[in-house]
Chains A and B, each alone.
Chain A
């Protein structure tokens, strides 16, 4: 990126602001990490205190605290989240391409309906959806959590991609049409490569939101060996009066952030790659 050289003092100032902002942003995380090293009877009675020592017990015990180990929960979460990413990126980009670039009858109506699906609160469709998947025999499997993604049910991503596809000048695909390219090749060879930033964005959000989701897994998964990480984390705490394992819950919650963080770091490289593409445009 071409950038005017900035003075040392300006750079230092910018870093100071950014670091201060970072601390505000990650303070809760620090508190969680701190608590994960404490015994349960100190977490709430003295919440601001630093842990006395780096005691890894909560991590070691927490991993195997439930009847099924976290190895299984992570495997389940990854299977669901990775397939959801693939489904969302493929299905939503196809749909978005149709809305952004192709001419067909009823397009406005379909688009309005698609936007409408964003607006209905999901708590009221939850029960009918459960009944639907139950009749399909899909309850107690991963299918209700994955198959919908391959059918572009998340209108958020469609709308997002439509907005970005429309930011790509039409001359590019018009030129391709002149060269005899059909819609499929325009989509696959031109649109997708030119849209890395938005595809990366969609991939990041798909992964994180699916990975974080607990309502879907809660409703559709019954056996603990099928549980995802967020669902398992909720099993540590008994708010009805039984014994809870707070330290281990905080330890496992801390660990559960590692994969999303890694995914974020990995995909944000693709966000940056957009720069080079942008320069191609004119």
Chain B
């Protein structure tokens, strides 16, 4: 790729101060010429993406400067680049952050390119809608995604448990299943990881009651009683010995899957997003099954389909047409998607999807089949999260831990956290 640049850089470096300004201008020119693309990922995704970039350059003659980072580093770098006004042209975006970046004017609205560079007439309407913020399109979904429970199939069977119908099962069923198998599980393994601190799981909980985390106005969308019920349920699960004790559960602190209870062999059930199945399966020897999150019997769906990730464009991009072209290439080009497969999620482009279905692995097929079932049991997207929603998400962990470690009763813990949520949301 740009190995030549690198040699020049090396030369500039060795030449010392005299070449500094010359060197700086070289860097600037390279930036003007090439489209910049940034994503978070892993070696597998990096390879696929780089191949697609090379294919794009071959087709169009446009140079692309790719950049890839791990998830943990990605957002710090992006915020720094945003502060410097130098965001890359195309940015892989997360559903949680798109509102922050779009509302603060960092992302370009994509509507002007629809029908021109972006050929998305056949694209799944629901998936397309998930990239809208306040009415404008700020990102294109790279694939659909939903919550799920996973479990070790053979272990459940060996313990004498039978999975009920996943589309109708309730949290009571879940607890009952746990009680029936808990004495037959391998040593050190509990029925399920504790989910008292998992904000997306709590969101499913309030959605099953016909509510949402936040209202359209960005205020709290559920009652204190909902939070009390939720904390009480998971405290009961812990006290019944269905989840690991608090200090063991707390080892799963970072949200990294290698530290999750199910991967560590400490729980039979776990909570993940559907696109994480392949990675989880790679880390355990037992076969994993994926099922829907249990509801509460009222018939209100806990689930919704959200984008696993999106692709957005920077407002500061100096070459928006070309960036839109590359974006379209990623989403719709058949040859490009032969390379990408469903690594980023199940695409909303029907032509691409049809072509890919034949070549899936068993684990990938489970995701596709799962999402097909979920698609019949979803409610619309929730209202966009308000500013500071991410902070509320992070605050749930210590709030729950105080309950789990027995420092405060579930009811009092819920009250304290409810107040805290309101404080956080009111802070600018």
Interface string of A134-167 (1 = CB under 8 A from B): 1011111111001000000000000000000000
Contact present for A137 and B28 (CB under 8 Å): yes
Contact present for B6 and A226 (CB under 8 Å): yes
Contact present for B12 and A243 (CB under 8 Å): no
Contact present for A239 and B72 (CB under 8 Å): yes
Any chain A CB within 8 A of the CB of B216?
A: no
Q: A45-B265, A242-B42 are in contact. Are A234 and B24 (CB under 8 A)?
A: no
- Tally of B interface residues using CB under 8 Å: 64
Any chain A CB within 8 A of the CB of B101?
A: no
Any chain A CB within 8 A of the CB of B405?
A: no
A202–B94 Cα distance when bound, in Å, is 43
- With both chains docked as a complex, state the minimum distance between the C-beta of A229 and any C-beta of chain B, in angstroms: 14
Contact present for B72 and A234 (CB under 8 Å): yes
Interface positions of B from 341 to 364, Cβ below 8 Å from A: 343
Contact present for B275 and A241 (CB under 8 Å): yes
Q: A41-B283, A41-B285, A141-B12 are in contact. Are A242 and B83 (CB under 8 A)?
A: no
A222 contact set on B, CB distance < 8 A = 36, 65, 67
Contact present for B276 and A241 (CB under 8 Å): yes
Contact present for B2 and A225 (CB under 8 Å): yes
A65 contact set on B, CB distance < 8 A = 43
A100–B20 Cα distance when bound, in Å, is 33
Interface positions of A from 205 to 245, Cβ below 8 Å from B: 214, 218-219, 222-226, 234-245
B113 contact set on A, CB distance < 8 A = none
- With both chains docked as a complex, state the minimum distance between the C-beta of B272 and any C-beta of chain A, in angstroms: 7
Any chain B CB within 8 A of the CB of A257?
A: no
A139–B28 Cα distance when bound, in Å, is 9
Interface string of A239-264 (1 = CB under 8 A from B): 11111111010000000000000000
Contact present for A244 and B258 (CB under 8 Å): yes
Q: A239-B70, A243-B44, A245-B42 are in contact. Are A79 and B27 (CB under 8 A)?
A: no
Q: CB within 8 A of B13: which of A46, A79, A218, A240?
A: A79
Any chain B CB within 8 A of the CB of A119?
A: no
Contact present for A240 and B71 (CB under 8 Å): yes
A143 contact set on B, CB distance < 8 A = 12-13, 20, 23
Q: CB within 8 A of B83: which of A40, A127, A238?
A: A127
Any chain B CB within 8 A of the CB of A67?
A: yes
Could you give 14 example pairs across A and B, Cβ below 8 Å? A43-B258, A136-B24, A137-B24, A138-B20, A139-B27, A139-B86, A141-B23, A222-B67, A224-B68, A238-B40, A239-B255, A241-B273, A242-B44, A244-B283
Residues of A in contact with B (beta carbons under 8 Å apart)? 40-46, 65-67, 79, 83, 126-127, 130-131, 134, 136-143, 146, 214, 218-219, 222-226, 234-246, 248
5 additional contacts, CB 8 Å, given A45-B284, A241-B272? A67-B50, A127-B84, A214-B73, A238-B279, A241-B275
